[in-house]
Amino acid sequence: MPADSELDVESRIASLWEADALPTDAGVLHVVATWFDGTEHRVLRITPESPKSETDFFVLNLARARADVIITTGRILREEPSLEYSLPSPWAAPMLRWREDVMGRTAPPRLAVLTSGRGLDPGHPALHGWASPVVVTSPDAARALRGTLPEHVDVIGLQSTSIRDVLAWTRADGAMTISVEAGPSTARALYADPLAVDELSWSQFAEPDLAHDFRGAALFSGDGPPTALHPTAPPKTLEQTSGSWRFSRWVAAAPG
């Protein structure tokens, strides 16, 4: 699909989610791709051979274009050594214009990397992209890391680096839209009571089988997201190069 202006971004949103507009201050966003094994919805493991979806890629980068802060983990950086946090071609220019004109944000988001500090590669491309990196770790690890990372990488030491405490830190720092890109062991805590997710962008690989190597840990039971989240429209089923996918957007208040 060509992408020349912010109107292309908006028309893609309307086509995918039947949404006229997205909130500028959305709270906590979670973007995830899963596969259903008949009992549980398992997060797709990301490898060069994993099932790919151009639409899922658009959804992920749209969340980045909306965010004040993107939260990821040191584990994800280790598992994805080529992961970048720069908006991709051909969407980079229209998403940046849409971010400024519609979302009202001119500065890049911050990239908060939750880590113990062990095995953190100072040359990882995630720390050298569009998003402004900050390493979030324990006070002791922060002292050890300072001076070992590039000057543009901030290092913050928090007494607790649980996902909910880090969300509180980002809000205290002024973040109004926070996109969480974390594995299931971290993300599950967002769905415990009280719910910490305001909006879920859910991509589902809808093929009946998936190679074992691509099956990650379970995020949801067969019932899907908690009942406190509500789909904004029926799921959109699209054929992608890897097979059939379903896309839906869920929010923490009933639509309408």
Q: In this predicted structure, what is the pLDDT of residue 253?
A: 73
Q: Annotate 75-142 with three-state secondary structure.
A: HHHHHCCCCCCCCCCCCHHHHHHHHHHCCCCCCCCEEEEECCCCCCCCCCHHHHCCCEEEEEECHHHH
> Each residue of 223-256: pLDDT tens digit?
999 999 999 999 999 999 999 999 999 999 754 4
Say whether pLDDT at 1 is over 80: no
| Amino acid (1-letter code) at residue 14 | A
**Mean pLDDT, the chain, integer:** 94
| Amino acid (1-letter code) at residue 196 | A
Q: In this predicted structure, what is the pLDDT of residue 254?
A: 53
Please compute the mean of the pLDDT values over residues 114-121 and round it to a whole number: 93
- Which of helix, strand or coil describes residue 153? coil
Please compute the mean of the pLDDT values over residues 39-45 and round it to a whole number: 97
Round to whole Å and give the CA distance between 215 and 89. 28
For residue 123, the tally of other CB atoms under 10 A from its CB is 9
Q: Do 77 and 120 touch, CB atoms closer than 8 A?
A: yes
Q: Of 119 and 71, which is predicted with more confidence?
A: 71
User: Smallest Cα–Cα separation from 166: which of 148, 184, 190, 146?
Assistant: 190
Find residue 114's DSSP bridge partners: 73, 136
Please compute the mean of the pLDDT values over residues 154-172 and round it to a whole number: 96
> Each residue of 78-109: pLDDT tens digit?
999 999 999 998 899 999 999 999 999 999 99
Measured N-to-C along each axis, helices 54-66 and 92-101 cross at an angle, to the nearest 10 degrees, of 40
Please compute the mean of the pLDDT values over residues 63-92 and round it to a whole number: 95
Q: In this predicted structure, what is the pLDDT of residue 14?
A: 95
Range of lowest pLDDT (104-108, 114-118, 129-133):
114-118
Q: In this predicted structure, what is the pLDDT of residue 150?
A: 95
Measured N-to-C along each axis, helices 6-17 and 54-66 cross at an angle, to the nearest 10 degrees, of 120
- Within 8 A by CB and 6+ apart from 220, the residues are 34, 40, 41, 191
Which residue's entry shows tokens 């990882």?
A: 124
Whether the bond into 88 is cis, omega within 30 of 0: no
Round to whole Å and give the CA distance between 205 and 36. 8
